[in-house]
Amino acid sequence: MGMTMTQKILAAHAGLETVQAGQLIEANLDLVLGNDITTPVAIREIDKMKTDGVFHKDKIALVMDHFIPNKDIKSAENCKCVREFAAREGITNYFDVGQMGIEHALLPERGLTVAGDVIIGADSHTCTYGALGAFSTGVGSTDMAAGMATGQAWFKVPSAIKFNLVGKPSKWVSGKDVILHIIGLIGVDGALYQSMEFTGEGIKYLNMDDRFTIANMAIEAGGKNGIFPVDDLTIAYMKEHSTREYQIYEADADAEYEKEYTIDLSELKPTVSFPHLPENTKTIDEVGEIKIDQCVIGSCTNGRISDLRTAAEILKGKKVAKNVRCIIIPATQEIYLQAMKEDLLKIFIEAGAVVSTPTCGPCLGGYMGILAAGEKCISTTNRNFVGRMGHVDSEIYLASPAVAAASAIAGKIVAPE
């Protein structure tokens, strides 16, 4: 029996000719990622190990992005802990105020992730890098500590689900709509500890930002990882952003999949996920009358330059509704600069939105947009759990940047025109 893309990558990094679903392996790591919330825990664990330091100072990335600039004393102490550890260990890829961005947008931009890599990160959305044809997955802080110390991690080889994407999406249908549709189809546990492997001729109509968005939210379907085949667009992206060598893996023709789905992108409509689970989806024509108090456009899911361009296209010459707070967050400093060059920031501010420095902030209810009881927010983030953005009686509606921007203008959830 042949192997999937994910299984081939894991086999290569475990030094094995073949692996099978369910097999326990120990694999070499190309990158270990941590942020300002999860890394302090890992540092305390690695200090208990009495090691001689980290396994490779160039293969660890520490990104201060959740509460940066620091919002309170605790977040400042966490960042100080990581900052001192990075200095002590000589960590090459340490990103703090001025250089940082939202980790899952920053790492590909800096060329730290390429096809064929095995990457772990103490953040659940580490699965983002599957857009480049890498195996990447979230782990706990103790596994991060072990990875930093040894350069290895153990895995149970996942079985796989194939998603065959066909057709060309219409103008306002983006990667966010694709993944929300899929999660609505299979449920939040529909791919539990499985690899979500995307294939099909429809992929050529998805830009890299679309693919990052789809891979990013694989975890919201319970997936161990999401992964895309490497095509000319992927290679062009890696050549633009990275000097590292990459390795292309392709699934065998006789690879085994637990399930297979065909998604016709031409039939998809803008999609919204209602509270309080990402699987609770409705197409835009099924939404009804939902007034909103806040709109957030940003996050590791939808804070990239194409997302901001889409929002600006809709907001240009318009005004955010009187009682709506519209918060726009470029995912990295480079994206912020590019948005500035293209006058996108001017469009946002003139429309009545506020533009934030790169941060995860509101997505996890940290800061920069906390919700009060009874408030409703349309957001391009990835989770809409109870209390995720603030009060337990608030509500989050997940959507694409296009739907979010149109809704900010209307004051209620609507389709972009």
Over the stretch 47-90, which tens digit does the pLDDT of each residue have?
A: 888 888 899 999 999 999 999 899 999 999 999 999 999 999 99
Return the pLDDT at 295: 98
Nearest to 359 by CA among 299, 401, 417, 316: 299
- What CATH number does the domain located at 5-263 have? 3.30.499.10
Mean pLDDT of 335-339: 97
What gap in Å lies between CA 405 and CA 159, rounded to an integer?
A: 38
Report CA torsion sign: 236, 116, 175, 364: negative
CA 342 to chain centroid: 24
Nearest to 203 by CA among 235, 159, 234: 234
Return the pLDDT at 384: 95
Return the pLDDT at 325: 97
Mean pLDDT of 170-183: 97
Least confident piece of the model among 72-76, 97-101, 315-319: 97-101
Mean pLDDT of 198-214: 97
Res. 313 pLDDT band, cuts 50 70 90? very high
Q: What is the pLDDT of residues 235-275, one digit of tens each?
A: 999 999 999 999 999 999 999 999 999 999 999 999 999 99
Q: What is the pLDDT of residues 340-370, one digit of tens each?
A: 999 999 999 999 999 999 999 999 999 999 9
The order of strands in the sheet holding 159-166 is 225-227, 194-199, 159-166, 259-264
Tokens representing residue 180 in the block: 């929300």
pTM confidence score: 0.95
Return the pLDDT at 52: 83
Mean pLDDT of 310-333: 97
What 3 state SS string does the chain have? Answer: CECCHHHHHHHHHHCCCCCCCCCEEEEECCEEEEECCCHHHHHHHHHHCCCCCCCCCCCEEEECCCCCCCCCHHHHHHHHHHHHHHHHHCCCEEECCCCCECHHHHHHHCCCCCCCCEEEECCHHHHHHHHHCCEEEECCHHHHHHHHHHCEEEEECCEEEEEEEECCCCCCCCHHHHHHHHHHHHCCCCCCCEEEEEECHHHHHCCHHHHHHHHHHHHHHCCCEEECCCCHHHHHHHHHHCCCCCCCCCCCCCECCCEEEEEEHHHCCCEEECCCCCCCEEEHHHCCCCECCEEEECHHHHCCHHHHHHHHHHHCCCCCCCCCEEEECCCEHHHHHHHHHCCHHHHHHHHCCEECCCCCHHHHCCCCCCECCCCEEEECCCCCCCCCCECCCCEEEECCHHHHHHHHHHCECCCCC
Computed over every residue of the chain, the mean pLDDT equals 96
Return the pLDDT at 51: 84
Is 193 a residue whose pLDDT tops 90?
Answer: yes
Spell out the domain ranges in the chain: 5-263, 271-410
Q: What is the pLDDT of residues 123-167, one digit of tens each?
A: 999 999 999 999 999 999 999 999 999 999 999 999 999 999 999
Return the pLDDT at 1: 77
How far are the Cα atoms of 21, 28, 192, 287 from residue 160, in angstroms, in the given order?
8, 21, 10, 32
Res. 417 pLDDT band, cuts 50 70 90? confident
Is 393 a residue whose pLDDT tops 80?
Answer: yes
Counting Cβ atoms within 10 Å, is residue 64 exposed (0-12), middle (13-18) or buried (19+)? buried
Contact in structure between 114 and 132 (CB atoms under 8 Å): yes
Q: Do 5-263 and 271-410 agree at the fold level?
A: yes
Return the pLDDT at 50: 80
Architecture of domain 271-410: 2-Layer Sandwich (3.30)
Tokens representing residue 162 in the block: 């194939």
Nearest to 178 by CA among 193, 163, 191: 163
